Structure 1
Amino acid sequence: MSQSNYNNPSSSSPQGPPVQATNGSSNDPTAVISPQSEMAQAFKDLARGEQHATALEANLTNLENRLDALLASIEGRAAQLDEGQGEGPVPDKDGKNEKKD
């Protein structure tokens, strides 16, 4: 009786056995995919990930610019108050002037 190389775990083939698709990329769960097609799919996924990263970076840059503008606006108002433009009596909720301590 001789054993075939397919059943012998110590033997190796140059490309190895085909791999079953388990990532949901096929409607048939027993579909066999080659290492080349698996690599091609990995490169497609990588390219799609790069596109998403670029879009996220653009959105973050836009958000950063808007936050910088808001901060500059707030700092400008604070500087105006520090320069004395906001001095004087402070009206209370009834419209009457309160004393500043």
Structure 2
Amino acid sequence: MDDEFICYADKTSDEAVFVKVDERGRVFSFSNEMGDYEWTGPACIKKEKLNYSSGNVFNQLEPYLPMKGFKIQAYDVDTYEDYIRVTELTRNW
């Protein structure tokens, strides 16, 4: 059983990294321009697959795609405007 997976959510941030998913919910690509959902960051990845880099983490994951994906409820904060929006959304939690 493959215990690695990537999480994604509905787009909420202004500077999203997108994922495209197949009919089974597996992530098969990343994009800065368009996609099905917003990537929320790696959720469970073997540490051997990640290295220190000044580049993007998702570029290190691309050789391992497709990978199991899970849609979660998340709000990514990339900008001050995102912060304000999330503050309003979570005020009544």
Q: Under TM normalisation by the shorter chain, which class is it?
A: under 0.3
> What TM-score results when the alignment is normalised by the length of structure 2?
0.22
- Which entry has the higher C-alpha Rg, 1 or 2? 1
> What TM-score results when the alignment is normalised by the length of structure 1?
0.21
Q: Which has the higher strand share?
A: 2
